[in-house]
Structure formats: C-alpha cells, structure tokens
C-alpha cells in the first residue's frame, strides 16, 4: 500500500526521494519479536478472555465464524478485510469484556438483564457484539441474533397484510431468511430433547404445530411455509421465553441497531402507500417481547446506532435520544456500556497487526499522523489504511 507521503508526492507530480530509515524500520523481521507478537493472544476461547487480554487480537476459528456469521453479523468492510488477511481476528476490547464478565456472574434466576452498547459511528459496536456472540456460543447459550434491524425495516424484500394480526404487516421473505440464520446458529441445540414446544399452534384449518414436538420443527415450518414465517418468529419468541423460564435453556438475545424498532419512518408501505410504523410490523413484536425483563435464564445485549435511523443530522449518539421515549421506557432499567474510540494501547495494537499483515509499511511518524487523521476511530483508521 502506498503510504501518505508517497501519495502526496504522486499527486504533486514530484519525484519521490528515497527515504533513509534505520534498519529496524525497513523490515518487519528485524523488529523485536515481542513487539510483533504483543498484539496477539493465543487464547482463542472467549470463555477465558479477561482484562489481561484487552488490546490484543484473537483468532475466531473458521468453523465458528461459519456457524455464527454465515448469514450476517459482521460489518461488510470487516468481512472483506478478513478475506484479504486470510484470517478472522477480533480485537478484545473493554466493552465486550465488561459484558462478558457480567454474563459470567449474573444470577439467571432473576429477571433478564439488558445491556445497551452505544457510541459514535465506527467505534466498534458491531464487532464488540460479535465477540459477545462468540462467547454466548462457547458458553452454551441459545442465541437469538438479529444482525441489523435496518435490513428489515428499510430494505425489506416484500410485505403483505398479516393474516393473524389485523393492521399488521408481514415481511415473510426476510422472516424466513432469519429463521434459517437462527437454525444455523443453534443447530447443535435444537436437537436437545428438552427443547420442545409448550403449546399447540394452529396456522390454518389444515396446518398446525402440536404441543411437545422439537423446537426445530417449529422453525422448519416457518422456513418451508413462508406465508407463516413472520408469525412463526412471534410464536418462537414466546416458546423460547417459556423454555428459559422452565430452566431448559439459557438464552442470549443480541440485536444490532435496536433503536430501529422505535423509529417511525420505515420504508414499508401499505396498499394505500402509507408508511408503516415499526410497531405494526409483525416481527417487531417478537423482539420487543424478548427484550423485556419478564422472564429468567436469559440476557439481552443490544446496540443503538445512528445508522439505524434515517435522520441526516443526528443530535446525539446516546441511548435516550436514539431510542426515544418509548424505546427508553421499554428498556429501562438497563446497563449502559459505552464503546469509545481506540485507546493508545488499542491503536498501537491495531497498527502492529496491519504491519504484520503487510497492509501498511512501517515508517517513522506514521502512528502519530494516523492518530491525528483518524481521531482514533477504528473505522476511520481502517479506511485510511486501505489501499487506493
């Protein structure tokens, strides 16, 4: 990749003079081994991550990545970068470690605890969520994961009038795709004989899902009979809550862009071309149900994001503003978790990782320049280090 000095020289059409640097800056092999490796940890099991690992990268095993993120959950820019680097590495950051520590020690016999991750755009909320999901999978949680709420409410594939709830709109193609995602993430748990439906569910005069059948059959019904997919998610949410109450599973609800459920302007229209409020979209009911605290053996971790709403000029990135009054009251009480910009340690670790991957050239003054240009924002730093 061309460094910033070379790019400016090319733009000015000035010949680039050879830069004479100490030998230590010309070759990664000549740098001290501890300098190159301090940004990595060999502890790839998120169950063992602690404050001692903050600022270090760990590798997500390829089979875990396919299991958890095949159908979404990782930012597109990060996913592209993992293909370039030929490995999936996540930085262990304090917000995710704090949530993981709470999930380790919370009393699951009490009402479900809710966490809200918040921060400015590009500061790493989605990747912190990915780390928490990996922990939940490793700890044996049943994972209920929505990769991005805006994908349903602003870019839905189709919509139709609900046959079950008057005045509501179904988004069945997106709902069926989410059921595939849920089944893929939890296939190792859906075979558990304890996870069975707790009541009968009637879909039509000829179709029903009886009580005491494997939960996977309920999921398969929504996938195979797409017209019932949205309502199937609503039923699945209530079944999961009941199974958790009975102690048959521990559930981790993870939603990225949760405030999208409370933003009035969707891109879903009625037959009269009227904008549909999120509360009138069938699947919204399911995830608002799962994010309440009227159940146990579960926890909910969500993010609020400026990108989840369509306003051009955002006043604030804090939960009270992004959730609005209704959303804030719905989630209250919750544990707020700020996702800040990189610390100096995290910035250095990220730059060392880029150098180790041969993504940037090691030059004098490089870190100071990029700190200033990126303002220590992880996404901005990634863009500055991208090739042109």
Report whether pLDDT(26) > 60: no
Q: What residues does each domain of the chain span? A: 44-338, 344-386
Q: Distance between CA atoms of 62 and 76, rounded to whole angstroms?
A: 17
Crossing angle for the helix pair 282-290 and 229-245, to the nearest 10 degrees: 10
**pTM higher than 0.85:** yes
Which segments within 136-194 are labelled E, that is strand?
142-146, 160-161, 169-170
Report whether pLDDT(69) > 90: yes
Average pLDDT over residues 6-25: 37
Report whether pLDDT(85) > 60: yes
- 141, 112 contact by CB (below 8 A): no
Q: Distance between CA atoms of 264 and 273, rounded to whole angstroms?
A: 15
Positive or negative CA dihedral for 121, 113, 244, 191?
A: positive
**What per-residue confidence (pLDDT) applies to 313?**
62
Name the helix (H) or strand (E) containing 303.
Answer: strand 298-303
Q: Distance between CA atoms of 101 and 86, rounded to whole angstroms?
A: 30
**What per-residue confidence (pLDDT) applies to 34?**
47
When pLDDT is cut at 50, 70 and 90, the band that residue 269 belongs to is confident
Residues whose CB is less than 8 angstroms from the CB of residue 388 and which lie 6 or more positions away in sequence, other chains included: 1, 2, 7
When pLDDT is cut at 50, 70 and 90, the band that residue 387 belongs to is low
């Amino acid at each position: 990749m061309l460094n910033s000095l070379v790019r400016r020289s090319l733009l000015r059409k000035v010949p680039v003079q050879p830069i004479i640097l100490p030998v230590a800056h010309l070759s990664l092999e000549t740098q001290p081994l501890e300098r190159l490796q301090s940004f990595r940890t060999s502890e790839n099991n998120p169950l063992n991550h602690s404050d001692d690992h903050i600022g270090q990268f760990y590798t997500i095993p390829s089979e875990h990545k396919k299991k958890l993120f095949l159908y979404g959950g990782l930012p597109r820019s990060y996913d592209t970068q993992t293909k370039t680097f030929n490995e999936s590495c996540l930085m262990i950051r304090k917000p995710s470690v704090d949530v993981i520590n709470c999930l380790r020690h919370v009393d699951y016999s009490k009402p479900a605890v809710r966490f809200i991750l918040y921060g400015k755009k590009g500061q790493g909320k989605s990747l912190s969520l990915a780390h928490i999901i990996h922990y939940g999978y490793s700890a044996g949680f049943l994972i209920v994961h929505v990769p991005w709420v805006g994908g349903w409410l602003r870019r839905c594939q189709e919509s139709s009038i609900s046959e079950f709830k008057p005045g509501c709109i179904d988004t069945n193609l997106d709902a069926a795709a989410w059921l595939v995602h849920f089944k893929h993430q939890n296939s190792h748990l859906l075979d558990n004989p304890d996870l069975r439906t707790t009541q009968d569910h009637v879909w039509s005069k000829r179709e029903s899902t009886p009580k005491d059948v494997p939960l996977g059959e309920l999921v398969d019904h929504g996938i195979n009979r797409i017209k019932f997919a949205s309502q199937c998610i609503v039923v699945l949410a209530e079944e999961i809550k009941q199974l958790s109450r009975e102690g048959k599973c521990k559930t981790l609800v993870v939603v990225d862009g949760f405030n999208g459920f409370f933003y009035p302007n969707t891109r879903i229209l009625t037959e009269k071309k009227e904008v549909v409020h999120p509360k009138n979209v069938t699947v919204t009911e399911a995830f608002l149900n799962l994010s309440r605290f009227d159940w146990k053996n579960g926890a909910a971790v969500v993010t609020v994001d400026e990108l989840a709403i369509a306003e051009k000029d955002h006043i604030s990135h804090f939960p009270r503003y992004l959730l609005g009054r209704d959303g804030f009251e719905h989630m209250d009480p919750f544990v707020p978790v700020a996702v800040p910009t990189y610390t100096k340690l995290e910035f250095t670790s990220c730059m060392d990782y880029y150098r180790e991957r041969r993504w940037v050239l090691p030059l004098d003054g490089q870190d100071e320049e990029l700190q200033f240009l990126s303002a220590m924002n992880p996404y901005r730093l990634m863009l500055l280090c991208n090739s042109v």
